[in-house]
Amino acid sequence: MTHNEIDIDQFILLTIYPSIALFGITFFAKKAKLVSSIQYCLQAFSCIVFSVIYLMFIPNGGAQGLALVLILFSGILLFLARKHTIHPEENDRSPSSREIPFI
């Protein structure tokens, strides 16, 4: 990847940073007992922020592909947040509360 002034180790780090942010938001949301739709919105916002930073500050388009993947992932997260907002009773049930059919 040296043709766009970014090395493979830098690219791996640019991939790890959003992952750490997503897992950190998930950990914080579980500890704070946030609603899953808010958790998904926070994760989508962090993906958008990382993609904008990557597009603006990485030279010669070194992380354009990663920024595109983060934008697409934020769209999926916003779709999940909308789904959990519209139908919260289907999504927030734990497996123990569901009836297991007797076979």
Domain ranges of the chain: 21-86
CB neighbourhood size of 79 (10 A): 12
Q: Which residues, 6+ apart, have CB-to-CB distance to 6 below 8 Å? A: 14, 58, 59, 60, 62, 63
Report residue 46 as tokens: 């962090």
Query: How would residue 4 be classed by pLDDT, with cut points 50, 70 and 90?
Result: low
pLDDT digits (tens, 9 = 90+) for 28-71: 999 999 898 999 999 999 999 999 999 999 888 788 889 999 99
6, 58 Cβ separation under 8 angstroms:
yes
